Amino acid sequence: MCGITGIIARSATGRQRISKIQQSVRSLEKRGPDDEGIYVNENVGLGHRRLSIIDTSPAGHQPMWDASNRWVILFNGEILNYQYLRDNHLSPEDRDALISGSDTEILLKLFIQLGVACLPLLEGFFAFAVYDTREDHLFLVRDRFGKKPLYVYEDSDCILFASELKGVLAYEIPRKLNLNSLYLYLQLSYLPQPQSIIQSVRRVTPGSYLEMSPGKGIINEIKWYTIPAQGDYKNIPDYQQAQNTLVRLMDEAVQKRLISDVPLGAFLSGGIDSSVIVALASRHVKHFKTFSVGYKGNNFFDETHYAELVAKKYQTDHTVFYLDHKDYLDAFFPVLDYIDEPFADPSVLPQFILSQQTRKYVSVAISGDAGDEVFAGYNKHYAEWRARKKDLVSLFVRTGAPLWKKLPKNRSSKIGNLVRQLDRYADGIKLSCNDRYWRWASINAPDDISQILTPAILEKVRQDQIETIKENILSNLNETDFNSMLRTDIDLVLTGDMLVKVDRMSMANGLEVRSPFLDHQVVEFAFSLPSRYKIDYHHRKKIVRDAFRQHLPAELYNRPKKGFDVPMLNWFQHELNAYLFANLLKEKTIKEQGIFNYEYILKLKQELQSSTTHDTVEKIWIVLSFQYWYNKYFLSIN
């Protein structure tokens, strides 16, 4: 796992920017703490930070060249089937000429041999650049689901790319706020791909590659992978066969992710997904290392008991990190410091701490990420499934809409949170499929944003462009196939939120995280199955639960999904209150900035002290995350 950066100059001004490549490389240091490399010629600069996982010797140094010194590669990620590719797709001469044991060298030789035709052969997660010095031609490639990030900037003087936005900003490009992206961020609490918060910067679309050169700029962007189209579900295995196939595919996916030349373990939350990973990994590794987070003084959110049941069953070398209120608070500012775009998923905090503590023991962790998106594990999936049924429960909730509006709503209490959910459900079932999905994916509705932003900013937001972005994101969604919702979750939530969170927080601590549920063969199999295999009146993620029932302790079943709890309400009311409202959200700051209505900030402050906080904490966190980023990355140029 590494960080990559590069520049292609298109003018004399662009060539001057090549001198900034050292700054860009250093900005990515945490992604790759083990090594650094830079190559520069008249028009091109390439930089790399290395986290050594496969072949930790100097032979794996990057930028990596072929023997002819014509081709050079920058690579971030893992090619999990690199040994198979070496043995079955490289010529005997190429195999004999290998000077390292790294997947990067095999990928370079494969790319020289096949070009972009090699991409479907690759299993894993990656973002890489290959430069042909003879043709002065560069390829940028991103993995199927966008697990590894890749940003691109283009103007008349140069093309820049980097693993993180901070790597692009290090070249001292113009920093102009993308107001359409700001609007979408305020809705969702994260940025949908390929959007960026800075104008002229975007992310390479997952499963795509770019071709570029100094003379022609970005020539094209081509989609090399999409999830195969969903069929009519007529020729499907019976349910038991499907379970057997899922166990086999998941076992293969886990086994591939156990290849490492450095210590390796797994996150173990006590939920079904991470427990499945540990159960399968333990088939191949004795005394497998596992790691959990516990909660001092909060038994409701402490799932360590369930994690320990799994650890005991499979005799893992298990470590629990017990967190308290102070541990969370101590992580607050380091997390905000590392994130280089506005991002307001509160679970970044426990993810940061878990990664930080796990890195003390291993360099690679396997996780259960993406199980919920692929196999329908969220509350919203059940809500959508019920909404499509249009049954008596949905009718009852819809009829009670006036009552839900009046009753107090509060995420911090069981009853208040139930009322909040009923209110959102009642609102959603009145809408079309597309509008309902977008509403349930959003924290702020358009009416909310009209209160948040000043009229001057709202006038500059292009609503027609916002609608086009939404239409592209929702293009696979339809009323007839529930799988279309899961496909949309992968395009929006997984790539924009979940994978960003895990990548940034693990990379902030130099930890590689691997996700077997995102193995493309697992994903493609999941989408070949009808929704009834995944969700019904009684269960979400049905086939995962049933396929691994005999592998997991019975106590893991029939218990509520808890997830991470972050005590932000308490912070915003006490420890961070002065920092918020006397610093980032103070009246003078807000009015001089001219982005947010100060009356809206006052409203949030008043709601924060009331007994019905509703979604106030989430809305404050959204504004706070933006303000912190703006002060660090935007105002720093003044």
CB 461, CB 604: distance < 8 Å: no
Confidence of residue 613 (pLDDT cuts 50, 70, 90): low
CA distance 281 to 275: 10
Q: Measure CA 251 to chain center.
A: 23
Confidence of residue 301 (pLDDT cuts 50, 70, 90): low
pLDDT the model gives residue 328:
84
CB 597, CB 454: distance < 8 Å: yes
For residues 211-238, one letter each, b for 16 or more C-beta atoms within 10 angstroms of the residue's C-beta and e for the rest, the string is ebbbeeeeeebeeebebeebeeeeeeee
Structure tokens at 249: 């595919």
Across 207-221, 386-400, 451-465, which has the greatest mean pLDDT? 451-465
298 or 2: which leads in pLDDT:
2
Asked if the peptide bond before residue 63 counts as cis, ω within 30 degrees of 0, the response is yes
User: Residues 313-345: pLDDT tens digits?
Assistant: 999 999 999 888 888 889 999 999 999 999 999
Asked if the peptide bond before residue 194 counts as cis, ω within 30 degrees of 0, the response is yes
Structure tokens at 541: 């993620």
> Is the pLDDT at 152 greater than 60, yes or no?
yes
Span(s) in the chain for CATH 3.60.20.10: 2-176+202-223
pLDDT the model gives residue 637:
46
For helices 179-188 and 616-629, the axis angle rounded to 10 degrees is: 150
Residues contacting residue 58 through CB under 8 Å, at least 6 positions apart: none
pLDDT the model gives residue 406:
67
User: Residues 481-505: pLDDT tens digits?
Assistant: 999 999 999 999 999 999 999 999 9
Task: Tell me the mean pLDDT in the region 227-255.
Answer: 93
CA distance 356 to 492: 27
pLDDT the model gives residue 505:
97
pLDDT the model gives residue 397:
75
402 or 270: which leads in pLDDT:
270
* Domain 242-375+482-556 sits in CATH 3.40.50.620: yes
Span(s) in the chain for CATH 3.40.50.620: 242-375+482-556
571 or 379: which leads in pLDDT:
379
CB 36, CB 189: distance < 8 Å: no
User: Residues 379-414: pLDDT tens digits?
Assistant: 999 999 999 988 777 777 777 777 777 677 666 667
CB neighbourhood size of 533 (10 A): 24
CA distance 66 to 105: 8
Architecture of domain 2-176+202-223: 4-Layer Sandwich (3.60)
* Mean pLDDT for the chain overall: 91
Rounded percentage of the chain residues whose pLDDT exceeds 90:
74
